[in-house]
Structure 1
Amino acid sequence: MDRAHGAALQLRQLPPTSSAHPLTELSFSYKENLIGALLAIFGHLVVSIALNLQKYCHIRLAGSKDPRAYFKTKTWWLGLFLMLLGELGVFASYAFAPLSLIVPLGAVSVIASAIIGIIFIKEKWKPKDFLRRYVLSFVGCGLAIVGTYLLVTFAPNSHEKMTGENITRHLVSWPFLLYMLVEIILFCLLLYFYKEKNANNIIVILLLVALLGSMTVVTVKAVAGMLVLSIQGNLQLDYPIFYVMFVCMVATAVYQAAFLSQASQMYDSSLIASVGYILSTTIAITAGAVFYLDFIGEDVLHICMFALGCLIAFLGVFLITRNRKKAIPFEPYISMDAMPGMQNMHDKGMTVQPDLKASFSYGALENNDNVSEIYAPATLPVMQEEHSSGGASGVPYRVLEHTKKE
C-alpha cells in the first residue's frame, strides 16, 4: 500500500511532458511576431502621415517672410508629435519580433506615402487619364501589400531574450566576427573609392548607407530588447554592453544620415528610396541572420516563401517610386558671347540675363516654372576694346535696353 502510494506521489510530482512545450512556445512566438509586426506597421504609417503633414505646412508657408513661421502652426507640431510616436512604435517593435521581419516592413511607409500623395493631389484628371498616370502606383501598392503579407506569415519564429549575457555571446561569436571583418573591409574599400576616386555612383553611396544601417538595426534591437526587459523587472541597464550598443546605434545612425544627405544632393529621391530600400533590407536581413541567428531551425519552405515575399515587396516599392513625378532640371542659358556682335555689349556693362522672376525666363531654352531659386542678374564687366574696321560689317551693333514691367 505504501509502495503504491509512493509511486502515485512520484507520478504526481513529475514535470509536464515536453510534447506540449513546443506548441506553447510556438504560440508565444507567433504572438510576439504579431505584436512586433503591428507596432512596425503602425509606426511606419504614422511616420508617413507626419512627414506629409509637415510637408503640407511648409508648402503653405512657402511665401512667408519669417523662415521659422512653421513653428507657430499647430499642423507642424502635430506632425512632429506623430513622427516621434511613429518612431517610438518602430523602435519598440524590434524588441518583440525578429530583425528579419521588422526591417522589410519599411515598405509600409512607401505604400502610405503613395496613397496619401494620390488622395491629396490637386490636379483634376479624367478617370481614364488618372488610371493611365497612376497604374504603376496601384500595381506597386498591390505587390508591396502581397509581399508584406508573405513576410509576416513566413517570418522566422526564433525568439531569444535580449539579456546582456546573450548579446555578449552573440557579439563574440565566430560567425559574427567574420561577418564584421568582411563588412569593415568592404566599407573601407567603398569609402576609399567614394572619397579618393570620386566614385559618386548611387550604388556606392547607398551601399555605404546600407552597411551602416545593418549595424544600426542590430544595435537598435539589442537596446530595445534590453530596455523592455528592464521595464518588465529584469534589469539590464547595469551591463556595459547596453551602453556599447547605444553608442554604436547613435554613431551609425548619424553617419548613415550624412551619406543619405549627400546622395539626395546628386540623385532623385525616388531612385534613392527604391535602391536604398532594396540594399538596406537585404544587408540588414543578412546581419540579423548572422548575429541573432534568425533562421536557425526554419524549414526550407518558410525560408523560400520569406525570400519570395521580400522580392515581391522590392518590386512593389520599385514600381511605386518609379511613378513619382521627377523634378525638371534647370536648363542652361544660351551663351551670349557665342552670338556675333554680342561682345560689343561689354562696353557699357549691360545686364545680359535679367533676373528670373517671371514664368518664362528670357534666354532660356524653355519654360522654367519649377526653378525655385531666384537668380540675380549677371552684369558683364566694362571693358575698353578697340574694334577693328575689318569686321563682317562696319556698322556697330545697337544695344536695346530691356526694361522689365513690375
Structure 2
Amino acid sequence: MNILINKQNSDFYIGLSLALVSTIFIGSSFIIKKIGLQRLTHRGSLRAGAGGFGYLKEWIWWLGLITMGIGELANFGAYALAPATLVSPLGALSILITSVLASKCLNEKLNILGKLGCILCILGSTIIVIHSPREESISDVASLLERLRSSSFIFYSLVVISLSVLIAFHLGPLYGEQNVVVYLLLCASIGSLTVILCKGLGLALKESIDWPFYVFFVLMCCCLLVQMNYLNKSLDLFNTNIVTPVYYVFFTSFVIIASSIVFNEWHGLKTEDILGNLCGFTIIIIAIFMLNVFKDLDVSMGSLFRQKASKYHGYQNV
C-alpha cells in the first residue's frame, strides 16, 4: 500500500513539474508565432485570419510551432501522470509568460493592474495545486473505453462537434473577424476532447501499443490540427493579450466539464478542497479580467503617487 501511495505521489509531482515546463514553452510560442504572422502581414501576404496559409513559409512561425510542440509534449506527459483538473488550470501561467513577453517583444502594454493580474494568476494556480486531487480515477485503457461509451460523454461529444461545425461553416465567416470568442470557443471545445485523447494515449503507452493507441493518436492529431488552424486565425485577428486569456478560460472550463464526465476526478475530494479549486479558478479568472479589460489604461505606480500628491497639495491650498 505504501509503495502504491509513493508511486501516486511521484507521478503527481512529475506531472506537476511537466505542467510548469509546458507553460513556459507554450506561453513563449504564442509570441513567436505572433511575430511570424506580423512579418507575413508586413510583406502583404494573405492573412491567416482571411483564410491564408502563407505562414507555412515563415520560419519564425515554424519556430513558434516547434516551441509549442515541445510544450504540448510536456503537457502530454503531465496529463498522463497528473489529474486533468490540476494540469489545465495551471495553463494560466502561460498567460502570465505571454503577457510579460508581449510587453517586451511586441510592445503591448502591461500596466500596474496587469502586473497585479499576473501575481493573482500565480496565487490562484498555487491554491489549485494545494487543493487538487492527487489520485487518478482511471488506471487502464479498458476502464477509459467504458467511460467513453457512456451516454453522458457521447452527448457531450455530439454537442462539441455540432458547435464546432456550426462555428466553422456559419458563425465563423459571419462573426469571426469581429468577436474574439467565436474561433476560440471552437478551439477550446475541441481542446477538451484533445485532453481526453491525451489521457487515453498515455494509458495505452503504459500498457501496450495496440489498436486503442493508434485510434487515440489519430484522433488527437486531428483535434490538434483543428485547434492550430483556428488559433492562428484568432492570433492574426486579435491582440495576443486578448487571445491567450480568453482561450484559457474557455479551454479550462471545457476541460473541467469533460474531465468530470469521463474521469470524475473530483470524486472523493473533501468539501474544502472542492471550494479551494473553485476559489483558485475564480481568482485566475479575475486576474485574466484585470490583464485585459484594463490593459489600455495608462496606469502606473508613478501616476498613482502623482495623483495622491496633487490631492494633498489641493487640500493645502484650501
Q: State the TM-score, normalizing by the size of structure 2.
A: 0.73
Deviations 1:168-191 (A, max 9, x none): 112112332232244344445555
Counterpart secondary structure, 1:296:
coil
Post-superposition CA distance 1:247-285 (Å, at most 9, x none): 111111111222223334443332222222111110111
Residue 17 (structure 2) aligns with: 38
* 5+ long unaligned stretches in structure 2: 44-54, 298-318
Partner of 2:303: none
Structure 2 CA distance for partners of 1:237 and 1:144, relative to 1, 3 Å: same
Contact 1:53–1:76 under 8 Å retained in 2? yes
1:29 corresponding residue in structure 2: 8
Q: Secondary structure at the match of 1:294?
A: coil
Give the aligned residue type for 2:112: V
Displacement of 1:89 = 1.6
d(CA) in 2 for partners of 1:175 and 1:78? 40
Q: Give yes or no for the alignment of 1:145 onto 2:122.
A: yes
Say if 2:216 is the partner of 1:245: yes
Q: Relative to structure 1, is the Cα distance of residues 296 and 243 closer, same or farther in structure 2, using a 3 angstrom cutoff?
A: same
TM alignment of 1:185-334, pairs within 5 A: 185-191=162-168, 193-194=170-171, 198-200=174-176, 201-227=179-205, 229=206, 234=207, 236-238=208-210, 240-322=211-293
User: Any idea what SS the aligned residue of 2:111 has?
Assistant: helix
Change in 2 beyond 3 A, CA 1:264/1:30: same
The answer to whether the Cα contact below 8 Å between 1:137 and 1:319 also exists between their aligned partners in 2 is yes
Cα pair distance change 1:322/1:226, threshold 3 Å: farther
Aligned counterpart, 1:170: 147
- SS of the aligned residue for 1:110 comes to helix
Which of 93, 100, 110 aligns to 1:115? It is 100
1:155 paired residue number: 132
Match of 2:80, SS state, is coil
Instruction: Determine helix, strand or coil for the equivalent of 1:94.
Output: helix
Q: Is the contact between residue 44 and residue 109 of structure 1 (CA under 8 Å) also seen in structure 2?
A: yes
Q: Is the 8 A contact 1:164 1:242 kept in 2?
A: no
Preserved contact between residue 270 and residue 322 of structure 1 (Cα < 8 Å): no
Name whichever structure is richer in helix by fraction.
2
| Greater alpha carbon shift after TM alignment, 144-153 vs 293-302 | 293-302
Q: 1:271 to 1:185 in 2, by over 3 A?
A: same
Classify 1:145/1:79 alpha carbon distance in 2 versus 1 (closer, same or farther; 3 Å).
same
**1:79-98 → structure 2 map (5 Å cutoff):** 83-98=68-83
In structure 2, the CA distance between the partners of 1:24 and 1:315, relative to structure 1 (3 Å rule), is farther
State the 1:219 CA deviation: 0.7
Q: Which has the higher contact order (CA 8 A, sep 6+)?
A: 2
Counterpart of 1:46, as a letter, is: F
Q: 1:158·1:295 contact (CA, 8 Å) conserved in 2?
A: no
* CA shift for structure 1 position 139: 0.5
Q: Which amino acid aligns with 1:309?
A: G
Query: Which 10-residue stretch deviates more, 287-296 or 180-189?
Result: 180-189
Determine whether 1:100 maps to 2:85.
yes
1:151–1:309 contact (8 Å) kept in structure 2: yes
Q: For residue 320 of structure 1, what is the amino acid of its counterpart?
A: L
Alpha-carbon distance change, 323 to 24 in structure 1, aligned in 2, over 3 angstroms: farther
TM-score (norm 1): 0.59
Task: Decide which structure has the larger Cα Rg and report it.
Answer: 1
Q: 1:68 to 1:264 in 2, by over 3 A?
A: closer
